[in-house]
Each structure stands twice: as structure tokens, then as C-alpha cells.
Amino acid sequence: MEKKNTDRNLENKNIVISVDPGFDSTKIVINGEMFCIPYNVVDITGKEKDAIGAKKAGYILSHYIDGKSFLVGDEARKRMMEEDARINQASKQTMESSFEKFTTDDFEVNIMTCIGVALVRYSEMLRSSNKGMTFDIQQYSLFAAKSDERNKAYDSYYEGFNFWVGVALPHDAVEDVWSTVKKKIAQFHNFSIELADGTYDICIDIKRNHCATQSQARAAFLGLLSDDNGIPLDGPEAMEEKNIPALLIDGGYRTVGMFKISRDGAVVQAESNTTYAMFNINTDVEETLVKNYGIDHVKEYNIEEWIKEGGVVNYLKNDRSEQVDLTKIRDEKIKEVCDNLIAYLNQKYNNLLDIKTIIITGGTGKVYFDQISKYIKEYRNSISVRITDYEFEGKEISPAFGVATGLYKVLNYLVREAQGE
């Protein structure tokens, strides 16, 4: 039996990292292991003591920039429910909604902090796996920093480790922002992060020729059509010519990407549409709450946290406390917006008569999948509908990881090619 890439990469001293920096969360695959961290960054410099009580699972305090402290991920999202953070976030909404996001300090803090957290958790998984192989980010960081505190007995082992990093970007943004993103990634990084279980120093050197990008759409498409090494599939799982042209729908938080793919695998029509994104659904929910219930503290960017906490919101009616079901309101909005999306697809793609396969990926795509599948089965039954929930490294992935996993497969191919395998 061929070894899994997670084993082969480690044996060859390769740490292969793919990152899908979505507008809602950052998905990371490291040597086959998957991690997801909510995308939120809140500068709490000077207010670190206020966060002491929050040290529980999901707590991340990053010191990526000297002299600065940032809450990242879950606790940052919870902080968005507080008034001071809401005011600060509102001032950044326009930038966060555009491709300018990928050029900011917040983006760099988030992506490198998330990579650091994922490396910590990956190290822990290796220690508990009993595979006889190891990579400890704390030991490696001491080695990389040439610290006098390091155990020099590990030097020969950690000598020669390579970090390969791929970042998936929106199709329309790759040419414009990749050079900026690459400069942020390809450098010597030395910073610390505080997690619920301790403080970790992260020291890694990422070389420019070990960085790669791919559009999110193409990464998802290639991931569906290739094996774990990035080699095209054959047999019943292959995408045959008779099943193309295909339409790939990448449902994200800020945009829904629509990409028509030709018989040679090229993207011949591409659109990043904001109308049908979860961002707009949450914005509609926010406006409904204000208009119908006078609730003005539930915002688009903290609705996910409200739903996570049960989705029940209190409000005053005739000086009496009442409750509204936020989840029910959003589910109704989702159905309405997905119906509109289906109508738009028919309008844009000749009633889908030329499409042979629809591929759905992304977290919002997963939300829409059942409704789109039901429509296609009833009204366009010549079309095959697929979702990126295929088997990878022996386990089924979530469609939300379709982009990160597809990019990881591409990186695996590049690494093996570069090293002559």
C-alpha cells in the first residue's frame, strides 16, 4: 500500500501547507491534516488584560507585529458582539468586502497566525499518532532561531526541512494581489501566539520558490478531478469529456463564484457575484431585525456567533421582553436567495441547456446544494450535480475544504516534481 502524503511529506522533510483565506474563515491543510479558524482580527493592544477571562478553546492572541496584540479567530468573532468592536469593524467593512483585504496588515496577521496555530495543532497530532515520526514546531522554532535554549541534538534532524505554502485567491484577484500576498508569505517569520493551553514561539523561513497560488475555482475543480498527489484520476471518478462543459459554483461568504469550464479544463467564463453570497443574506437578516423588531445590535458580521449560541434574540415589545428566532429568519432568506440564484443561472447560461455537470463547493455552496440538486433533478435531469465532498487521505472532506484540499493536491504535485519523485 502506498504511503499517505502526510507520511511521505514528513519523511522527506516537507511541511506542505495550503491556505484558503476565505472571507468567513481560513481553511488550512498541513500534510493532509485540516484546520479551520474563523476569519476575524481585532487589535486589543493595551487591552490584553480584558481578554484574560476568554482563555478557553479557540482563544488566540497573536503578537505577529512587534508591540501589538491581536485577537484572532473565534474569540475575535465573539468580541465583535461588543459595542466597541462593532464600531471598529463597521469602519473596515468596505475594505473587508473587497480584494483590498488581501493587501492589509490584518490579512497578514490572520494568515500567518492561522498557519502558526495549525502548526502547533499538527505537532500535537503527530505526538499522539504513534507513527514514529515527529515534527515539533516549538523544537523547530528554537532551531530556526538558533536559540541558545535549543537542544542541539535535534539540529541534524531539523536541518533541511522545507515549508511549501500555497494560497488560494479569488479568480478575479490572482493577477492583481498575488505579488503582494507572496511578499507577505515568503519571508523569515518570528512571532508568538498565546493559546488556551500556553504560549508558543513560531519561527519559520518560507522561500519565494516554495510559494504558489491558484484561483479558488481552479483549485476546487482540480481537487475533484485528481488523486491525493494531484495526478488526474482515471476510471469511474474521472471527469470525462461527455460530462463537460461544467459549471462550478463556489459559494463563499462574500461572493458566489460562477465558472464555466471548457472541455480542456480552462475557465472560459468567470464571475464573482456578491448578490447571492451569505454576506447579503446576513445583511438582509440584520435589516429585518431592525425594521420588524427594533433590534440594532445584531450585525451581519456577528450573526454566525448568535446562531452558534442558539439563535434566540431578546427584544422589547410594549415594555415586555420578547424573543425572535434568528435561525428561522435566516433559513427563509436562504431559500429565497437560492431560488433567485437558480433563476440567474438559467438566465446567464442559456437555461443550463449547454451544461452537463454542475460542481458545487464552499460553505455557502453546501448550504445551497440540496435546493439546487432538487431543482436540477426535477427540471434539468440531464445534468449531473456533484459536490466536493470526495475522499481525501482516507477520509471524506467537507465542501468547505474543497478549495484548500484541491490546492494541497496541486502543491503535492509541485513538491514531488521539484524533488524528482
Please report which confidence band the pLDDT of residue 82 belongs to, taking 50, 70 and 90 as the band edges. Answer: low
**Residue 41: pLDDT above 70?**
yes
Averaged pLDDT for residues 41-45:
88
77: pLDDT strictly greater than 80? no
Name the nearest CA neighbour of 79 among 90, 67, 71, 68. 71
So what's the pLDDT on residue 87? 46
Instruction: Tell me the residue length of the chain.
Output: 421
Per domain, the residue ranges of the chain are: 5-217+394-418
Average of per-residue pLDDT across 235-259:
78
pLDDT band at 137 (very low <50, low <70, confident <90, very high): very high
pLDDT above 90: residue 373: yes
- Three-state secondary structure call for residue 330: helix
Q: For residue 43, what are the β-bridge partners?
A: 70
Predicted local confidence at residue 300, as pLDDT: 79
- Closest by CA to 34, choosing from 22, 21, 19, 23, is 19
Q: Which residue carries 471527469 as its cell? A: 239
Widest distance between CA atoms in the chain: 74
- In 3D space, the residue among 407, 346, 402 whose CA is nearest the CA of residue 379 turns out to be 346
DSSP E strand stretches across 362-401: 384-387, 391-392, 395-396
- With a cut of 60, say whether residue 287 has pLDDT above it: yes
- Which amino acid does the sequence have at 161? F
Q: Classify the C-alpha dihedral 216-305-17-162 as positive or negative.
A: positive
pLDDT tens digits along 307-317: 888 888 888 88
- Predicted TM-score (pTM) of this structure: 0.84
* C-alpha distance across the termini of the chain, in Å: 17
Average pLDDT, the chain: 86
* Residue 421 pLDDT > 60: yes
Mean pLDDT within 327-347: 95
Whole-number pLDDT of residue 239: 58
pLDDT at 73 over 90: no
The mean per-residue pLDDT over the stretch 215-236 comes to 81
Sorted by sequence, the CB contacts under 8 Å of residue 200 that are 6+ apart come out as 116, 120, 137, 138, 141, 192, 193, 194
Average pLDDT over residues 198-205: 95
Distance, in Å, from the CA atom of 141 to the CA atom of 204, rounded to the nearest integer, reads 7
Inter-residue contact 181 to 213 (CB < 8 Å): yes
What average pLDDT does the segment 302-325 reach? 85
Q: For the ranges 112-116, 261-265, 403-407, which has the lowest average pLDDT?
A: 261-265
Average pLDDT of the segment spanning 184-212: 95
Q: What is the pLDDT of residue 241?
A: 60
Span 263-289, mean pLDDT? 86
Taking the CA atoms of 286, 287, 289 and 294 in sequence, report the sign of the dihedral they define: positive
Residue 45 has pLDDT above 70, yes or no: yes
Amino acid 39: pLDDT: 87
pLDDT band at 237 (very low <50, low <70, confident <90, very high): low
Q: What is the pLDDT of residue 346?
A: 96
Instruction: Work out the average pLDDT over 353-366.
Output: 91
User: What is the per-residue pLDDT for 13?
Assistant: 93
What average pLDDT does range 186-203 have in this prediction?
A: 94
Q: Averaged over 134-155, what is the pLDDT? A: 92
Q: Which three cell numbers stand for residue 414?
A: 509541485
| Amino acid letter for position 277 | A
The answer to which of 190-199, 223-232, 273-282 has the lowest mean pLDDT is: 223-232
User: Residue 298 in 3-state DSSP?
Assistant: coil
Q: Structurally, what CATH architecture does the domain formed by 5-217+394-418 represent? A: 2-Layer Sandwich (3.30)
Percent of the chain with pLDDT over 90: 50
Residue 240 has a pLDDT of 60
Statement: residue 200 has pLDDT above 70:
yes
- The C-alpha atoms of residue 130 and residue 396 are separated, in whole angstroms, by 22
* CA distances for 348 relative to 19, 215, 353, 365, angstroms: 31, 22, 11, 18
The two beta strands, 198-205 and 25-30, are: unpaired
Tell whether the model's pLDDT for residue 162 goes beyond 70: yes
Backbone φ and ψ for 117, nearest 5 degrees, come out as -60, -45
DSSP class of residue 226 equals B
**What pLDDT is stored for residue 1 in this prediction?**
38
